[in-house]
Every structure is written in structure tokens, then in C-alpha cells.
Amino acid sequence: MTHAKRKLVHTEIIPIRWGDMDAMGHVNNTVYFRYMEQARIGWFDALIPEDEAWQSTGIVIVNASCHYKRPITYPGTVEVRLMVGAPE
């Protein structure tokens, strides 16, 4: 895997909801991608005026991945850092 130069453009703090957890007692792996989606929309909302959003401007996702380091549980918060860089 090549690590091209990336830039931090947005950070979103998201509260963990009880319903985000699965039967194993931690946040379900698929929910992490919803957290990432929420961060992308927060970044987009901060960049584009509301009356212009989604009219002629949008987001292209070239790659999305998640490296699970440890389980997270309710209650708590998640810090999502959005990085951008040139497509590889």
C-alpha cells in the first residue's frame, strides 16, 4: 500500500449511540463506515453554502478503509479525522 501525502481537512466528534453496538457488546464494524459518512457530510456542509450543496458540487470517494485497533462501546464518543490526498 502506498501512502501518498494526505492532509487533515476535518475532524468530527460523534457520540456513540446504544443502538450502534452489536450482540458482542461493542460497536458493530459496519457502523464505523456510518461514522465516516457523517464526518464527510459535516466537512461538505462546512465547505459549501447550503443553497449550493449537491446542486453542482459533490463528493467523490476514491477509497474508504478502516483499521480496527480496539473495540469501542457505549457510552462514549468517536473522533473521526477526514484526510484528503491525490488519488492513487
What is the per-residue pLDDT across 8-64, written as a single tens digit (0 to 9) for each?
999 999 999 999 999 999 999 999 999 999 999 999 888 887 777 667 767 778 778
Domain count for the chain: 1
- Domain-embedded: residue 1: no
CA atoms within 13 A on the CB side of 50: 0
pLDDT at 3: 59
Looking at per-residue pLDDT, the higher value among 51 and 74 belongs to 74
User: At residue 67, does pLDDT exceed 60?
Assistant: yes
Q: Is residue 70 part of a domain?
A: yes
Residue 44 lies in a domain: yes
2, pLDDT greater than 60 = no
Write the CATH number for 56. 3.10.129.10
Distance CA 28, CA 23 (A): 9
Q: In whole angstroms, what is the distance from residue 72 CA to residue 67 CA?
A: 13
pLDDT value at position 20?
A: 97
Q: Which amino acid, one-letter code, is at 65?
A: S
Contact 76, 18 (CB under 8 A): no
- pLDDT (0 to 100) of residue 59: 75
